[in-house]
Structure 1
Amino acid sequence: MSQQNFTKAWNRTRRALAASGMVLLAACTSAVQASPYVMFRDPQCGCCEEWAKHVHAGLEHEVETREDRPMAEVKAELGVPDALASCHTMRVDGYIIEGHVPAREIARLLEERPAEVTGLAVAGMPLGSPGMEVGGRVQPYQVIAFGPEGSSVWASYPESAS
């Protein structure tokens, strides 16, 4: 195969892979957007709305700010383990999402529907997670699946982190 033919074939392959990636991303976003959700947040927290934009770009959602009681009470009521707490909590289609969980992980949860999982969490507020983008800085973090039987790593970010 000549260099010119190889280059043409390689470019076609790259375009096909890029298109496949776009279709997959659209499917993940659509799965999350199709599910109604309620987000609970502290009115003083600025990153919560940025995360909501990441999860449901332009979609209507219900946000409950908690001025009448502490977020810790809301989290306890919803079953969020103390060790996994972050700034905001979301209830979606029977699951609890705590903190800066990427949209694609929520879509995966809603697609797979593991019976032993109550929800997903990103503990704390790691830089580079959705809603916490600060000048390109990224801290490795894990998405944790939790439920009555305990917790386990659902995904690691950046993807090469373990």
Structure 2
Amino acid sequence: MDVFPKNIGTGFQHVCESVFVRLCQIVGTSVQVAFMRETRNIKELVDRLAADNDDVIHLESGSRREGFRLEGSDIEIMFWPNDYRVIWDLIQSEYYDTASKNLILADSSMSPPGFTLLESLTPNTYSEFRSAFIRVNDRMYISSSLFRGTMQL
């Protein structure tokens, strides 16, 4: 026994197609979104490779970084010294010389969506960062609120 008349399925499919077409006009097609994401990945890689150890690197995140063209969407940008490396998995730490690079582990596994724990894996040389550290269970984390306080003029 069908709950809906047969012609409703056709109407529903038309609505779904119309919604998809409109989303593609707003956000871009899946190919366009993937292209924009890959373009940003390549730009960030080239910028990092060309930067000196004492330069400042910036990284975009959020919907714009993922390749979406959402008008009114906030822009999220992170800045950090080039002698710091943000890694997403501990296994990545073996690829860096910790004598010249400071490692920060970004861990979002225990955080709500939109939040990430930043754990310092190596001793820190910048006083601005040291004052923003908090110790939790013998691990050193960077507190964004303490860090913002040190950056205010």
When normalised by structure 1's length, the TM-score is 0.32
When normalised by structure 2's length, the TM-score is 0.33
Structure exhibiting the larger radius of gyration computed from Cα positions: 2
Relative contact order (C-alpha < 8 Å, sep 6+): which is higher? 1
